[in-house]
Structure 1
Amino acid sequence: MALTQETAQHALVAACEQVGLDPAGAELIRIGSNAVYRLKTPVIVRITRDGESIENARKQVAVARWLEAQDYPATRALNVDQPVEVDCHVATFWESVSEREEYSPIEGVAELIRRLHELPEPSLDLPMKEPFSELDSRVLNLAEIDQGDAEFLRHRIADLRAQYETLEFPLRPGVIHGDANVGNVIVDREGRPVLIDLDSFCIGPREWDLVQTALFYERFGWHTEDEYRTFVKVYGFDVMEWPGYRVLADYREISMTLWLCGKAGEDARAAAEVRKRVEAIRTGGTRRDWAPF
């Protein structure tokens, strides 16, 4: 069942009923990889798309409980019996840290990533980072776009897979957020940074948690040079000085584009954005006009 505003609302009502929460007046914050609602009580409800596993939702809740035990500033899982399955969707419930979504300054992002990487290894059974398994799971999205573009992306993925296998990572591997960037660090009611969206939490090379900030600065222009230098100073390592940076950055571009391909069949704006992105990757053109989705 596709995740639309109608199906998400149905799942919200049913899931809230199971855990004894009132969905009346819930605010839909966004629909992307998840539908995210804010209830009138200070609770965030996340509804997954069709096909997302309940095992991943259980992992997110377990990770949140572990981070809370470490007194680490991350999203807190609500103390209810969760996750909840509704039809083909999975709902999870989180304490709301603020009534508005305000992103942290870059020094807060760097500090939280550094602190995460300094935590002791958890006893959780976390998956290993498998970046190309993640891409393989989205390859069906290529059916939604021009087949010439689809074939180009398939070849690009194959090239990156071969290059990735030769990389030597300078940082010690361990716990990573897996999707660390400014969009996943918000400030709470007191203005303190909080890490959110634990979907991709796993064990892997720490460089994965640094590459998006570098990419957003270097290719997209979403961070200034001063912001990036602050990020490097606070974290203590510049991933752009590592020869493998380009491979991870190229991978992230493909991953972002492949995810968007899944929306191209039903959204003309997304389809146009995919065409623009593929052309930029093919020709080495600018990424500064890539629109966020």
Structure 2
Amino acid sequence: MSSAAALTESTAYGVLAKACEQVGADPTGAKLVRLGSNAVYRLAEPVIVRVSRDVDTVENVTRQVQVARWLEQAGYPATRALDVDQPVDIDGHVATFWVSVAETAEYAPIQQVADLIRQLHDLDPPSDFVLPAAQPFADLDSRLSVLANLDESDADFLRELIGELRSRYETLDFPLAPGVIHGDANVGNVILSRDGEPVLIDLDDFAIGPREWDLVQTALFYERFGWHTEDEYRTFVEVYGFDIMSWPGYRILAGYREISMTLWLAGKAGADEEAAAEVRKRVESIRSGGSRRDWAPF
């Protein structure tokens, strides 16, 4: 494990300044966009800088840069890694530099989301580096420590449900051929460029796995959360060419996604009472089979 200092606004800016010096960028006037799992800065020039929490993520961060450069070579519309020697390791944190797509995040229409996912699934895997195999439950297992922030009964319920979903997942017969997947494909990860063209962002979870993983969130957002209309979902299905909700395994993947979203929020619950209350509400709706329409976005 690394001995990197905690990622605060102060330490993140220190890493930013040193990383910019190393690659020849100018941190003057940099604006902190977000401080979460990463610190994200927007430079005065059209560049986004991401500073990771610690150097233990260097393998994943390196792969993100490799994926971006592979997609650029393929002519695929995704976020571009700046043409500098990166990632940059500074004081136990990893910084990466990205070409800014736009000044504000405007999400693409659903037909463009579906088209970009379809185009991605048409690509052959890269030849000069290896994408990992998708291991969704290994990812959940790595986050189970956040259950310590929950009531014991809620934590026990989620552990048991994860075990049930894992068993059922292992028996699934996926109708689509496996291949390159984004791993977190949804409308929130397709934004419009300054020219109004759709661009895929957030390359953290690229893998080789069942393509159904890139379809389930759009279905879930429509069917359970009401974040997409029926017309929008039907457009998504028509453009992509497959309706995941017609497959019996959909409910297992949807259940997984609900738990994944809840575990992410549980990580904030220890220090944020609003997040803790939202987690309790989510767990109760999963336990009772109640509506998810009142889940608040975080």
Indicate the TM-score class for this superposition, using the shorter chain for normalisation: over 0.9
Superposed CA offset, 1:26-85 (max 9, x none): 122223332222111000111223465100011010011110010000001001111112
- Aligned twin of 1:113: 117
Structure 1 position 3, deviation (Å): 3.4
Q: Match of 1:6?
A: 10
Task: Give the corresponding residue for 1:280.
Answer: 285
Task: Name the counterpart of 1:170.
Answer: 175
Contact between 2:55 and 2:89, CA under 8 Å: does it hold in 1? Answer: no
Q: Bigger shift: 281-290 or 206-215?
A: 281-290
Pick closer, same or farther for the CA change 1:201–1:265 going to 2, 3 Å: same
Map of 1:78 onto structure 2: 82
- Structure 1 residue 288: deviation in Å? 1.2
Letter in 2 for 1:79: D
TM-score by structure 1 length? Answer: 0.96
Cα distance change of structure 1 residues 28 and 78 upon mapping to structure 2, 3 Å threshold: same
* Residue 104 of structure 2, aligned match among 100, 116, 125: 100
Correspondence for 1:37 among 34, 41, 45: 41
Matched ranges for 1:129-148 at <5 A:
129-148=134-153
The ranges of structure 1 where at least 4 consecutive aligned residues each deviate by more than 3 angstroms after the TM superposition are 1-4
State the AA in 2 paired with 1:190.
Answer: D
Query: Offset at 1:11?
Result: 2.4
CA RMSD of aligned residues (A): 1.3
In 1, Cα distance between the equivalents of 2:271 and 2:18? 27
- What SS is found at the alignment partner of 2:48? strand
Aligned residues of 2:124 and 2:179 also touching (Cα < 8 A): no
Q: 1:204 aligns with which of 198, 201, 209?
A: 209
In the comparison of the two structures, how many residue pairs are matched? 293
SS at match of 1:220: coil
| Candidates 49, 54, 58, aligned match of 1:54 | 58
Range 40-49 or range 20-29, more displaced: 20-29
TM-score, normalised to structure 2's length? 0.95
1:160 aligns with 2:165: yes
Alignment of 1:14-29 (within 5 A): 14-29=18-33
Instruction: State the alpha-carbon separation in 1 of the partners of residues 289 and 11 from structure 2.
Output: 40
Alignment of structure 1 residues 190-269 onto 2, 5 Å: 190-269=195-274
State the Cα distance separating 1:291 from its structure 2 match. 1.4
Question: How far off is 1:6 after superposition?
Answer: 3.1
1:176-234, Cα deviation, whole Å (9 max, x unpaired): 00000011101001100000110000000000000001011111111111111111011
C-alpha deviation, 1:275, in angstroms: 0.9
- Percent of aligned positions that are identical: 71
Identify the residue that residue 187 of structure 1 maps to in structure 2: 192
Secondary structure, in 3 states, of the residue corresponding to 2:80? Answer: coil
Structure 1 Cα separation of the partners of residues 155 and 259 of structure 2: 11
Unaligned 5+ runs, structure 2: none
CA distance in 2, matches of 1:125, 1:285: 42
State the SS of the aligned residue for 1:275: helix
Note the residue ranges of structure 1 that are not aligned, 5 or more in a row: none
State how far apart, in whole Å, the 1-side matches of 2:92 and 2:295 are. 32
Distance 2:14 2:80 in 1: 24
- In structure 2, distance between residues paired with 1:262 and 1:291: 16
Name the SS for the 1:44 alignment partner: strand
**Cα distance in structure 1, aligned partners of 2:269 and 2:6:** 14
Q: What is the identity, as a one-letter code, of the residue corresponding to 1:242?
A: W
- Residues 189 and 202, structure 2, Cα contact 8 Å, conserved in 1: yes
